[in-house]
Amino acid sequence: MIPVSKPYIGEEEKTYVMEVLASGMLAQGPRVAKLEERFAQLCGVKHAIATTSGTTALHVALLAHGIGPGDEVITTPFTFIASANSILFTGAKPVFVDIAEETFNIDPALIEAAITPRTKAIMPVHLYGYVCDMDALQAIADKYNLVILEDACQAVGATYQGKVAGSFGTGAFSLYATKNVMSGEGGMITTNDDAVAEQCRLIRNHGMKRRYYHEMVGYNFRMSDLHAAIGLAQMDRLERFTQARRGNAQYLNANLKTVVTPKVKDGYGHVWHQYTIRVDGGRDRDAAVKQLDDAGVGTGIFYPVPAHQQEYMVEEAGEFHLPVAEKLAKEVISLPVHPQLTQADLETIVAEVNKL
């Protein structure tokens, strides 16, 4: 089976972890600080704050911007559920806006109609590693004085007009085991705002600046040095791995014939966390997945049920009718695109998908 994702764990990951174990200092320490520095450099921002996961990075970032009960945050329904849940954690309400068919990302043309006096922020999600149309989003945010909180969990190193994901507003990344840069579990917040960064550091660590003096209610969302050690080894591979993903995606785009392949517009630097095709025209997606599975091609469905259609979400956020997201949720299939694919793997994927 060619797996849809395959984390790479090399000698460096093992060596760095053993160094932490040998040091006897396992909790948040110098490796976390180093990983934060590397992320800030990569994104071209002043601050990076590590957390335990992408989910906690989103949660902390929302809180640091003062978002809470009575507020609304505009986001996409076509995402991993953590995007919307992080909004609920704060007591605010997610307001879902439909996506653009060709990008899978929130459609900026539909956002203004969803803005109310309660709207405090827009949370664009750079799904699959493809940055949202940030010029359009920034113009709306400027006009209505809204915070932009990028869910860049799938988009480490992705660019738009030369700017890196996580540098448009406040950014949140996931370092979950299958992400382009991983630390097993982990998260990262990026920002140029000194006050937001300071809040994030407080919220991450029980509101504590001076040991056992607490300035506010906070959490323990600290990353451990063990996790950071893995992340540091991965950061050294990012550029090479992103190029490999791009090469694989290009090969698939050039050779797949029977399905809708993903397009990349000029000015966008896709990092291909996922390579997602569509079986359109009312074809049976489940049958296609089974056919690929039987042929040894791993697949993923990201995501089969849009966030606004999860049963509890209807109770929390109300009813939304979002036809594009609802249609695409029935059509998408993600194929292997990870850097460990061989040419033979790519040829197998193409041959089998072209039989659909």
* Termini Cα distance of the chain: 18
Q: What is the DSSP string of 119-188?
A: EEEEE-B-GGG----HHHHHHHHHHHT-EEEEE-TT-TT-EETTEETTSSSEEEEE--TTSSS--SS-EE
* Residue 132 beta carbon to ligand PLP: minimum distance, rounded to whole angstroms: 12
User: Would you call 266 helix, strand, or coil by DSSP?
Assistant: coil
Between 16 and 221, CB nearer to ligand PLP: 221
Residue 228 found at the interface with ligand PLP (CB under 6 A): no
- Binding window for ligand PLP (CB under 6 A); candidates: 80-88, 94-102, 227-235, 280-288: 80-88
Q: What pairs with residue 214 in β-bridges?
A: 208
Q: Residue from 124, 129, 187, 306 that binds ligand PLP (CB under 6 A)?
A: 187
Residue 325 found at the interface with ligand PLP (CB under 6 A): no
Residue 55 found at the interface with ligand PLP (CB under 6 A): yes
* Residue 356 beta carbon to ligand PLP: minimum distance, rounded to whole angstroms: 26
Q: Residue from 28, 174, 199, 274 that binds ligand PLP (CB under 6 A)?
A: 174
What is the rounded CA–CA span in Å between residue 248 and residue 34? 31
Between 188 and 249, CB nearer to ligand PLP: 188
Residue 176 found at the interface with ligand PLP (CB under 6 A): yes
Residue 53 found at the interface with ligand PLP (CB under 6 A): yes
| Helix or strand run (H / E) with residue 214 | strand 213-214
Pair 61, 172: CB distance under 8 Å = yes
Rule CB under 6 A: which of 128-157 touch ligand PLP?
A: 151, 153-154
Max Cα–Cα distance, the chain, nearest Å: 64
When CB distances to ligand PLP are compared, the closest residue is 54
* Residue 133 beta carbon to ligand PLP: minimum distance, rounded to whole angstroms: 17
Residue 71 found at the interface with ligand PLP (CB under 6 A): no
What are the start-end ranges of the H helices in 24-157? 30-43, 54-64, 82-89, 134-144
- Cα–Cα distances (Å) from 135 to 66, 128, 168, 213, 262, in that order, read 24, 19, 9, 42, 21
Between 53 and 103, CB nearer to ligand PLP: 53
* Residue 177 beta carbon to ligand PLP: minimum distance, rounded to whole angstroms: 9
Between 125 and 353, CB nearer to ligand PLP: 125
| Dihedral pair phi/psi, residue 269, rounded to 5° | -105, 90
Residue 83 found at the interface with ligand PLP (CB under 6 A): yes
What is the rounded CA–CA span in Å between residue 73 and residue 236? 35
Pair 278, 262: CB distance under 8 Å = no
Size of the site for ligand PLP (CB under 6 A): 14
Residue 119 found at the interface with ligand PLP (CB under 6 A): no
Q: Which residues bind ligand PLP (CB under 6 A)?
A: 53-55, 79-80, 82-83, 125, 151, 153-154, 174, 176, 187
